[in-house]
Amino acid sequence: MKLATVVISGNYRVGVVEGETIRLLPESEGDIVALIGRGLPEIRRLASASAEVVPLSAVTLAAPIQRFNRDVLCTGWNYWDHFEESRGKREGQDVDAPKAPTFFTKGPNTVIGPNDDIGLDPYISAKWDYEAEVGIVIGKRCRSVSQAEALDHVFGYFLANDVSQRDLQRRHGGQWLKGKSIDRTMPIGPYIVTPDELDVPEIRLELTLNGELMQSAQLKQMAFPIAALVAELSFGMTLEVGDVIITGTPSGIGNAREPAIFLKPGDEMVVSATGLGELRNRLVSADLHGTTDIPAMSPAP
């Protein structure tokens, strides 16, 4: 099943994508997080009872998750080729290869829809970069689950582009929160796809920039598979229904290239993956710094 949140007649609605149409669920049943909490059998029952079907072309796809319990949970360095490509390029912040997953968070105000524009302000950062990722949504509240049972708590999968500001990542003591949390910079979606439709290890994740392939990997290349991520994150820490975890990016980021490639207004990024659809987002000039008295990360143009 592919679940989506769409905008129709100015309202957010949840529906089940069926080819080029979407079967809308009753507004009274709540948002996608509420529906996930009720379980897949109940969602299927509601879908089978709904006769409200509209073309996808008649709606706007929004970020599937609109209500967050907490920050977006994130995984760093989860493909060894990505970890290795950045050796010596972390501006004095190199570390040994991690023996357990590396986690951080980013603010939920980063989240935008799968086709929304991304505002780029060179005052905020001179080093805007892309990161194609697969995300998961937690479907059952859990704490300290084993790897063997971890995937039973994953409701579904989606795409994300963890657009990052590399200079802000370095500026704040080596932790990544600030360099990953600029408002409206992370498209997710276009759907949440349930595991029964996917061969997860074989999923191929790709990103193109202005039509050129920049990243390509299969999920089986992850340093720590998704079951390990859920087990580690839930170790002594409750994961709630609707929590979002992005699972890391493969090699090919702009900052690691020689010469480095950073995003600029007019660029178009497309993230795609087997069975998960695509994100298509354009960079546009924006004023994100307003009346701040924090110095620019680069001279303003």
Q: In this predicted model, what pLDDT tens digit does every residue of 176-191 receive, in sequence order? A: 999 999 999 999 999 9
Peptide bond just before 259 cis, omega within 30 deg: yes
- Same domain, yes or no: 106 and 229: yes
Domain that holds residue 228: 72-285
135 in any annotated domain: yes
Does residue 273 share a domain with residue 187?
yes
Q: Is residue 122 part of a domain?
A: yes
Same domain, 154 and 236: yes
**Which pLDDT value is given to residue 92?**
59
Residue 281 lies in a domain: yes
Q: Maximum CA pair distance of the chain?
A: 59
CA 60 to chain centre: 19
User: Looking at the domain assignment, is residue 300 inside a domain?
Assistant: no
Phi, psi of 294 (to 5 degrees): -75, 130
**Residue 296 belongs to some domain of the structure:** no
Could you tell me if 93 and 119 lie in one domain?
Answer: yes
Alpha carbons 181 and 111: distance in angstroms, whole number: 9
268 and 226 share one domain: yes
Q: Is residue 294 part of a domain?
A: no
297 part of a folded domain: no
Both 47 and 110 in one domain: the answer is: no
Q: Is the pTM of this model over 0.85?
A: yes
Residue 109 DSSP one-character state: G
For residues 209 and 129, the answer to whether their CB atoms sit within 8 Å is no
Residue 298 lies in a domain: no
- Cα separation, 145 vs 286, in Å, equals 43
| pLDDT score recorded for residue 174 | 78
Closest CA to 19 of 55, 43, 44, 66: 55
Is the bond leading into 108 cis (omega within 30 degrees of zero)? no
* Whether 176 and 251 share a structural domain: yes
pLDDT at 175: 84
What is the number of domains present in the chain? 2
Question: Does residue 81 share a domain with residue 44?
Answer: no
129 and 35, same structural domain?
A: no
Q: Are residues 108 and 197 in the same domain?
A: yes
pLDDT tens-digit profile of 10-59?
999 999 999 999 999 999 999 999 999 999 999 999 999 999 999 999 99
Name the DSSP class of 25: P
Claim to verify: residue 134 and residue 278 sit in the same structural domain: yes
Q: Are residues 239 and 258 in the same domain?
A: yes
Q: Is the pLDDT of residue 96 over 90?
A: no
Which CATH number is 129's domain given?
A: 3.90.850.10
pLDDT computed for residue 89 by the predictor: 59
Q: How much is the pLDDT for 93?
A: 62
